[in-house]
Copies of this chain bind each other. A is one copy, B any other.
Amino acid sequence: MSAIGSLRVVSEARPCDEDGLRALFLRQPGETAEPGAALFFEGDPACHVFHLISGNVRVCRFLPDGHRFIIGFLCAGDLVGLSFRSRYMFGAEAIDRVAFRRMNKRLFEEELQLAPEHRSQMLSHLRDEITASQDHMLLLSQKNAEERVCTFLLDRLDRTGTPGIVSLPMIRSDIADYLGMTIETVSRTLTKLVLKGIILPAEKHHFRVVSRSALARHANEANENDDHKGEAQRLLR
């Protein structure tokens, strides 16, 4: 639980399958995007695949009534653009200063032809996206405000480099549009968790997690390692 930078375990152990894919980008020049800038827009011709070097990106779609939905957040090491046909199905915007490499899709596919072992990595990546989507759907359809926020914090906790600290580089409205709630409810729920002693406000955009297990309990997660660990948590309640 304290391993730094460990991958989030979705459902079974998974040694960094996609490292091979990432290696393809090393020849590409590094680029940067300023906060708020778009890497690409929803609806644009999908001609590049992206690899994030540093920084945070939000991935979003819009409804005709102006509502925004955030599909997810990307950070260092993440790939985006593999799951498109001819057009981007969503937009990607820099949250903070972002460094990335991009690769022409045609070129990317040629490389894939040359190195067939990358095929399975590609599939692997797509399967992960599907799994992530389904977990997200589960959250949206079944969880209440507190469970949503706790789930989100757990997720961020595993992505943040410092143990016991969760970093929220995005603003409240990003979180709200990701969790399917309003900024007010997000704010209220965070306050409630602080009052309950589960998290502590730390520096700007950071919280200290006092009790990971309490967080997990309040998140009502499906498989918080449904082995002995899960049992233990149930008994401790």
Contacts and interface: CB of A to CB of B under 8 A. Distances in A.
A131 to B, nearest CB: 6
Nearest to A113: B116
A127 B127 contact: no
A220 B65 contact: yes
Interface string A99-142: 00000000000000000000100111011011101101110111
Give the copy number: 2
Interface residues of A, number: 42
Most chain B beta-carbon neighbours within 10 Å: one of A12, A122, A141: A141
Interface of A: 11-12, 14, 61-65, 67, 69, 71, 83-87, 89-90, 119, 122-124, 126-127, 129-131, 133-134, 136-138, 140-142, 177, 179-180, 220-222, 226
21 contacts: A14-B85, A61-B138, A62-B222, A63-B222, A64-B220, A64-B221, A65-B220, A69-B141, A83-B126, A83-B127, A85-B124, A85-B127, A89-B131, A123-B123, A126-B126, A126-B127, A129-B130, A130-B130, A133-B134, A137-B137, A140-B140
